[in-house]
Amino acid sequence: MPVYTAPVKDTLFLLNNVLKLDSYSNLPGFAEATPDMVQAILEQAASFTEEVVQPINQAGDEHGCTRHEDGSVTTPPGFKEAYDQFCEGGWGTLTAPAAYGGQGLPYVLGTAFEEYLISASLAFAMYPGLTHGAVAAIEVVGSEEQKQKYLPNMISGKWCGTMNLTEPHCGTDLGLIRTKAEPQADGTYKITGTKIFISAGEHDLAENIVHLVLAKMPASPDNVKGISLFIVPKFLVNEDGTLGERNAVSCGSIEKKMGIHGNSTCVLNYDGATGWLIGEKEKGLAAMFIMMNAARLGVGLQGLALSEVAYQNAAVYARERIQGRALTGPANPDAKADPIIVHPDVRRMLMDIRAFNEGARALALWAGLLVDLTSKAATEEDRQQADDLIGLLTPVIKGYFTDKGFENAVLAQQVFGGHGYIREHGMEQFVRDARIAQIYEGANGVQAMDLVGRKLARNGGRALQAFNKLIQEEIASAKGNEELKPLAESLERSLGHLQAATMWLMQNAMANPNNAGAAAYAYMHLAGLVSLGLMWLKISKASLEAIAAGNGDERYYRNKLVAARYFVDRHLPDTASLRRKVEAGAETVMALAAEDF
Amino acid sequence: MPVYTAPVKDTLFLLNNVLKLDSYSNLPGFAEATPDMVQAILEQAASFTEEVVQPINQAGDEHGCTRHEDGSVTTPPGFKEAYDQFCEGGWGTLTAPAAYGGQGLPYVLGTAFEEYLISASLAFAMYPGLTHGAVAAIEVVGSEEQKQKYLPNMISGKWCGTMNLTEPHCGTDLGLIRTKAEPQADGTYKITGTKIFISAGEHDLAENIVHLVLAKMPASPDNVKGISLFIVPKFLVNEDGTLGERNAVSCGSIEKKMGIHGNSTCVLNYDGATGWLIGEKEKGLAAMFIMMNAARLGVGLQGLALSEVAYQNAAVYARERIQGRALTGPANPDAKADPIIVHPDVRRMLMDIRAFNEGARALALWAGLLVDLTSKAATEEDRQQADDLIGLLTPVIKGYFTDKGFENAVLAQQVFGGHGYIREHGMEQFVRDARIAQIYEGANGVQAMDLVGRKLARNGGRALQAFNKLIQEEIASAKGNEELKPLAESLERSLGHLQAATMWLMQNAMANPNNAGAAAYAYMHLAGLVSLGLMWLKISKASLEAIAAGNGDERYYRNKLVAARYFVDRHLPDTASLRRKVEAGAETVMALAAEDF
């Protein structure tokens, strides 16, 4: 059975030494997040995720969810008990606003917790994860009445939430949706239509499920400009907050899918269900994007979290599995063979994963901090810059992290040899589970287009300029240090490739938009590598500082410096070839007639 | 339900125009393989695989194999009927020697058929595939009596075969095996032990199953030098060739695994089963490697075959799924949206797969031809060169093709968006099935070490020198042609990276073998890219010849030239970064203490 240990030490190092959380203590919510408090929360989070959530993950895959004839859905054994403990522990309230029962702690702490929760069980983490997205949307576009009515119970976890976008014939292109919302005399709407791929769409974990549903009113334009967002609770909520009658929304079936079997992915049928408009009429897509952006960061985190748990299990196996001899001579001459961790190619796989995980964790936490700063930073300029940067980084984190998360789960499975293909070891579950993150919340190709088609050009390229400047400053400061210099110079070369690729896009995408489309994916990966390079430079700097300060545990920091060099030597070189793929242009991509494929 | 169309036109183009099969008509078995005959066989192969095998593939995954209480195993619905048609059609006899009931046709034709069979159903193809490997071993190391006794029924398909290497505690390191072979007075051996991961280990397709089993005699050294190979039939075979009593080998369980559910992967228990030594005592590993080398080429083909069928389904979906608009303006202005094949990023995925498939098919068929030439070429020099080249290419084809096969199945699944994650579309089955090919018959890391640690150095590097020379000649001849020149120059740069990486290995692996181990995987991919580059140069040359000859169907050949440029622009650039990974050396790979992972 797979193991999991939450990487609390790493998270603390990143929060304290790399991101220097204490320098933000003047901002709202940060004062409470003292180093001691943060450590205590993370240690509790570790216990909860390791002891309560991780043990149900494999059985969740094996049993899956069960839909009964009446349309009700039972989650796998242990999920309900674990969810009750999630609520009792107040884990849903961590970063939620105090006005609705939250603890108001920094978002970045929620990011740290979320990573652990997903590593322990993605399928389980999705239930509160979807709720979290729905809360975010109601918080921003809901009326005060709607907030009072729904948020406290959703934040506590008593109720769950969902996002309803996709229909059988459309997912990415939401302008095509057919679900109808007919206005009623009492101000409500009758919602009718079929939604598919609704994660956590129906289940037995919570008393109520608050569906946020995209639909079109009869008089609205039949395209993206005609979409509105509606709140459609499973049980109507009475004036006094108690639950009323069952709404006309039901689970038609559960999808049979590749992984995340523990999460109920539902076809939801709306048969004249009662819904309430949330936010402005015909501004549903914008409202949904509030959820989507939070959700996309969360999905990016799934890539990291699955990569981490897969890594941990592969590392244990590599230390324990006895097979073959070290190339340089027996490591255990008294035994008949050595543990496979002596083999350079096994270490290559482990180091590949590790060089991603530790850099990606830094980037994920920085992104969490940026989310805080978008609303809490002291000056408008700082808030704007945080908003620019998080807008730029969101598609990179979603797309790059989930591609790497899957790739790394596959690498970790490979360490197990034939045993990795067998279900009982749990490695193939990580692969099947990790796969979905590249697809949902906007397939990674859509993320790439969001980055190249929207985020780069927005506000005259202000976000990328800020990002470039940050990196250049970090490089300039690092060059003065002998140990950091090679790393800084490598990152400088990679940044040069990113800048050249950007320049190429500026010069060629206007003339032919297909040049942007054909380049987008490679550009997204290039941006991901440069972003991680920046993180490794920061980590290395913080490690050298810690060594110089004689904090003890020098080996821990030296290992960071090794992983940084590994990243520079073996991941950053790809930036050169990615640039060439960007510059290859659209011609050969678009040349074939559709019928010749 | 997934579709499949055997790429007969492509195979014929490669055999006739690229490999110029007719130039070998003076060699044994090739005279019969006239272009008309080859076309007729491939068309029959297409009908059989498309109409009989492909339709059972998805149900095979859904149902899997069933082990009954008595240890017998039932294959999924339709497998027995399809297997009977396989035997009736004589598909197992295609390339087998006439002396034992085979048709004696060139091996390269078998390669073409094998690709189609695997595309139609990997799980099904493995049953005859394993038999094929066992036949190869008996053919080479068996006594004439053993050949007469087993080969005709195995070649016809009446009996099946298996390979028994792996045990619970060891796979790659066979020196550790514990299965015992105790000599009996009558010259037989009593085989006792447990073998795991035995593909097609027990089933209901054939009357008998001939297990080839690695075991150690009591007096033999307890390491690789003490391993002998034994024939252990499920039913003993009487003198007259009829079946005798049931042997003491039984299926203890069927593994629950990630994919290839239609193939029964068994734990086989040998409880004093009667076995016969095959080949020389204590030379079992060498004998097994005869099977392994054939099997490794076959597994490489699995990468191509799954990539092909996944591609075909993604292409159909991309043409039919209506979603979004072309970046350059509506392609179907009268409809509400365009088919997703208008999107450059969708085409990028399809072209990525295609650029591999068409090049890899050429390389696979060339490899098949080389196998023919190792025994059939007219001169000793030609036979030796073919043997050198196939030895060098086998780990590249196994490792690189199966990595790309999996990667491409994932890309093809991605084209389907959320629907790719749902079982009914069959795309996630291709991913799960393709995954095993990277693991079995020597995990790909083992292939990389075989390439770098054995094949490069063998006979003073003769194989690589021959390979380099072939490529250089092709480049030199192509440079004279304006249309081929850019392709030739790109390949020359990539060959330069391969040569530099080889030089680095020569200079650094002796001093520290870990440098070879740390570089091996990147080197294998580098060699794979250069090999495919050579194929694309040959394909391009043949396409231009066909256009010049006015063969008609110019569009088909022009599309080849587009795919060749796509490969050069978007795949070959990776050779530069792979070289850098080779040259990065072992230091950061080996630096961490085992307990720090």
Q: Taking CB atoms and an 8 Å cutoff, what residues of chain A touch B197?
A: 418
Q: Which residues of B are catalytic?
A: 441
Q: pLDDT tens digits for B223-253?
A: 999 999 999 999 999 999 999 999 999 999 9
The number of residues making up chain B comes to 597
Residues of B in contact with A344 (CB under 8 A): 514, 516-518, 520, 586, 589-590
**pLDDT score recorded for residue B397:** 98
Quick one: A503 exposed, middle or buried, by C-beta within 10 A (0-12, 13-18, 19+)? exposed
Task: Answer whether B581 sits within 8 Å of A562, measured CB to CB.
Answer: no
Q: B584–A570: do the CB atoms touch at under 8 Å? A: yes
Residues 6+ apart with CB under 8 A from A159: A131, A150, A153, A206, A207, A208, A209, A210, A233
Closest residue in A to B446 (Cα) is A345
The pLDDT value recorded for residue A172 is: 86
**How many helical (H) and strand (E) elements, i.e. helices and strands, does chain B have?**
18, 11
Task: Return the DSSP state at B272.
Answer: E
Predicted confidence at residue A287, as pLDDT, reads: 87
Q: Per the CB < 8 Å rule, is A439 touching B432?
A: no
**Smallest CA–CA distance from B441 into chain A, residue:** A418
Residues of B in contact with A432 (CB under 8 A): 258, 428, 432
Q: Scan for tokens 């990152």, then name that residue.
A: A491
| DSSP-assigned letter for residue B253 | E
Q: How many CA atoms lie within 13 Å of B499's alpha carbon, on the beta-carbon side?
A: 13
CA angle A203, A265, A55 (to 5 degrees): 65
Contacts of B592 in chain A (CB under 8 A): 347, 351, 559, 562
CA distance A437 to chain B (A): 10
**d(CA B323, nearest CA chain A) in Å:** 6
Whether the pLDDT of residue A291 is over 90: the answer is no
Give B-chain residues touching A410 at CB under 8 angstroms.
406, 435
Break chain A down into helix, strand, coil percent, rounded to 5: 60, 10, 25
Does residue A222 surpass a pLDDT of 80? yes
Taking CA–CA distances from B410, the nearest residue in chain A reads A435
d(CA A1, CA A159): 32
Q: What is the pLDDT of residue B294?
A: 82
HEC profile for A149-199?
A: HHHHHHHHCCEEEEEECCECCECCCHHHCCCEEEECCCCCEEEEEEEEEEE
Q: What is the pLDDT of residues A257-286, one digit of tens each?
A: 999 999 999 999 999 999 999 999 999 988
d(CA B41, CA B58) in angstroms, rounded, equals 26
Cβ–Cβ gap B257/A170 under 8 Å:
no
Percent of chain B whose predicted confidence (pLDDT) is above 70: 100
Distance CA B198, CA B171 (A): 11
Closest Cβ opposite residue B443 in set A222, A414, A589 = A414
Q: Can you tell me the distance from the alpha carbon of A187 to that of A146, in angstroms, rounded to the nearest whole number?
A: 14
What pLDDT score was predicted for residue A289? Answer: 83
- Minimal Cα–Cα distance from B145 to chain A, Å? 35
Return the residue in B299, B327, B529 with the most chain A beta carbons within 10 A, the one to mutate for interface testing.
B327
pLDDT, position B551: 77
pLDDT at site B593:
97
Nearest-angstrom CA–CA distance, B237 and B247: 10
Does the pLDDT at position A131 exceed 80? yes
Q: Using the beta-carbon criterion (under 8 Å), do A423 and B171 form an inter-chain contact?
A: no
Which chain B residue has the Cα nearest residue A567? B588
Distance from CA of B54 to the nearest CA of A (A): 21
Which residues from chain B sit within 8 angstroms of residue A597, using beta carbons?
315, 318-319, 341, 347, 350, 354
Q: Which two tokens stand for residue B376?
A: 């059939």
User: In the structure, what pLDDT confidence band is assigned to residue B5 with cuts at 50, 70 and 90?
Assistant: very high
The pLDDT mean for chain B works out to: 97
Among candidates A414, A417, A443 on the partner chain, residue whose Cβ is nearest the Cβ of B417: A443
**CB spacing of B594 vs A319 below 8 angstroms:** yes
pLDDT score, position B552: 87
Q: Which candidate from A166, A521, A597 shows the least CB-CB separation from B348?
A: A521
Chain A residues in contact with B511 by the CB 8 A cut-off are none
CA distance B391 to A381: 64
pLDDT category at A551 given cuts 50, 70, 90 is confident
Q: Which of A441, A473, A474, A483 is the catalytic position?
A: A441
Size of interface A-B (CB pairs under 8 A): 260
Q: What H or E segment, with its residue span, contains residue A231?
A: strand A227-233
B170 φ, ψ to 5°? -155, 140
DSSP strand E in A299-458: where? none
A165-174, A268-277, B379-388: the lowest-pLDDT one? A165-174
Cβ-based contacts of A588 with chain B (< 8 Å): 351, 562-563, 565-566, 569-570
Treating both helix axes as pointing N-terminal to C-terminal, what angle do A344-376 and A284-320 enclose, rounded to 10 degrees?
150
Give tens-digit pLDDT for A79-124: 999 999 999 999 999 999 999 999 999 999 999 999 999 999 999 9
Inter-chain residue contact B443 with A417, CB threshold 8 Å = yes
pLDDT (mean) for B419-442 = 97
Say whether pLDDT at A435 is over 80.
yes
The answer to whether residue B408 scores a pLDDT higher than 80 is: yes
- The alpha carbon of B435 is separated from its chain's Cα centroid by a whole number of angstroms, namely 13
Report the pLDDT value the prediction gives residue B289, as an integer from 0 to 100.
83
* Cβ within 8 Å of residue B310, ≥6 positions away: B353, B408, B409, B411, B412, B413, B427, B430, B431, B434
Q: How far apart are CA B109 and CA B96, in angstroms?
A: 11
* Neighbour count for residue B218 (Cβ, 10 Å): 9
B265 pLDDT above the threshold of 80: yes
CB-based contact B417 A424, cutoff 8 Å = no
Rounded to the nearest angstrom, the minimum Cα separation between B203 and chain A is 20
Q: What is the mean pLDDT of residues B169-192?
A: 95
- What is the DSSP annotation of A406-443? HHHHHHHHHHTGGGGGBGGGSHHHHHHHHHHHTTSSS-
Phi and psi angles of residue B510, each rounded to the nearest 5 degrees, phi first? -65, -45
What's residue A171's pLDDT? 85
- Average pLDDT, stretch A309-319? 98
Closest by Cβ to A258, choosing from B428, B439, B586: B428
pLDDT score recorded for residue B288:
85
Are B369 and B538 contacting, i.e. CB atoms less than 8 angstroms apart? no
**Distance between CA atoms of A150 and A139, rounded to whole angstroms?**
10
Cβ-count burial B466-476 (b if 16+ within 10 Å, e if not): bbbeebeebbe
Q: What is the pLDDT of residue A125?
A: 98
Distance from C-alpha of B560 to C-alpha of B555, rounded to nearest angstrom? 9
Q: Give percent of chain A with pLDDT exceeding 90.
A: 96
pLDDT for residue A205: 98
Strand A235-237 and strand A243-246: the pairing is antiparallel
What 8-state DSSP symbol labels residue A14? Answer: I
Q: Mapping DSSP to helix (H, G, I), strand (E, B) and coil, where does residue A75 land? A: coil
Mutate to test the interface with B, among A319, A354, A587, A597 (most CBs of B within 10 A): A597
Mean pLDDT value of segment A213-232: 96
Tell me the pLDDT of chain A averaged across its residues: 97
User: In terms of CA atoms, which chain A residue is nearest residue B265?
Assistant: A422
Contacts of A520 (CB under 8 A, 6+ apart): A445, A448, A449, A451, A452, A453, B344, B345
Which residue in A113, A125, A154, A128 sits closest to A60, CA to CA?
Answer: A125
Q: What is the pLDDT of residue A106?
A: 97
